[in-house]
Structure 1
Amino acid sequence: MKQTRHPEPDEMTLIEVMRALSDPIRVGLVRVLADGRERGWGELRAPVAKSTLSHHLRMLRDAGVTRTRQESTRCFVELRRSDLDTRFPGLLDAVLGAAHGDDVGGQVALASDADDPTG
């Protein structure tokens, strides 16, 4: 099984992290993952094709924003909040605060949230 490479915190660059956070779908994924729980890729709902969602998740992983783990045929993803807060103090909180205020990425949800009509 191929091991996925994740940059160490000192390898993360502001440019790559900001590039990863420059798309509303990716910001939405970060918002969903900000609860600190690891999520299966199948739990994530976004208004894009599965291949495009995979691309967005890869962009976040390659920048160091998320960590991906494969277990058999399933993939799981989690936000690397601690690493991001250590490397870029306050950045993630600022991005999440602005994203919530402007509803950036609000179209991304968990499958359980998307199925719940009460929102």
Structure 2
Amino acid sequence: MPHPAREEIRLEGVLHALSDPLRLRIVRELAAEGVELSCSYFDLPVTKSTTTHHFRVLRENGVIRQVYEGTAKMNGLRRVDLDALFPGLLDSLLAAAAHQAARHDEP
């Protein structure tokens, strides 16, 4: 699976990847857990092919890293890379998303 190198990650790609509510939800869950999670961990209200698309967008824009562990595809947040490139961005987005979720009684 192709992943962009740190120097290839672009701000507009990260913002695009995080502009979708389901992708933002995936990133929020990865950040909250702080560990790699399998794709099956996420209970998303979409088809498997749509779920695969969302993970691909996150991976191709440098937000997550995906690796196989046996037959499971594990997903990890590229926090170190994102924090180095865009200091404070991820924390600000996660805080804003949590605030929005609380205002709208979302998970």
Determine if the TM-score, normalized by the shorter chain, exceeds 0.5: yes
Shift of 1:46: 1.0
Structure 2, unmatched stretches of 5+, are none
For residue 70 of structure 1, the aligned residue among 68, 78, 82 is 68
Partner of 1:52: 50
Query: What is the rounded CA distance, in whole Å, between the counterparts of 1:36 and 1:91 in structure 2?
Result: 17
Shift of 1:71: 2.7
Structure 1, unmatched stretches of 5+, are 108-119
Which structure shows the higher helix fraction? 2
Query: What is the rounded CA distance, in whole Å, between the counterparts of 1:31 and 1:71 in structure 2?
Result: 22
- Deviant stretches of 4+, over 4 Å: none
The aligned amino acid for 1:13 is R
Q: Which SS does the other structure have where 2:57 is aligned?
A: helix
Partner of 1:27: 24
Question: With structure 1 as the length reference, what TM-score do the two structures score?
Answer: 0.82
The aligned amino acid for 1:7 is P
What is the aligned residue count? Answer: 103
Query: What is the rounded CA distance, in whole Å, between the counterparts of 1:88 and 1:16 in structure 2?
Result: 12
Partner of 1:5: 2
Query: What is the rounded CA distance, in whole Å, between the counterparts of 2:89 and 2:61 in structure 1?
Result: 14
Q: Which SS does the other structure have where 2:97 is aligned?
A: helix
The aligned amino acid for 2:29 is V
CA displacement 1:66-115 (0-9 Å, x = unmatched):
000013322110101111000110110111001000018x45xxxxxxxx
Name the structure, 1 or 2, with higher relative contact order (CA <8 Å, separation 6+): 1
For residue 42 of structure 1, the aligned residue among 40, 43, 56 is 40
Query: What is the rounded CA distance, in whole Å, between the counterparts of 2:62 and 2:80 in structure 1?
Result: 11
Q: What's the C-alpha RMSD, in Å, of the aligned pairs?
A: 1.3
CA displacement 1:21-75 (0-9 Å, x = unmatched):
1100000000000032000111111111111111000000000000000133221
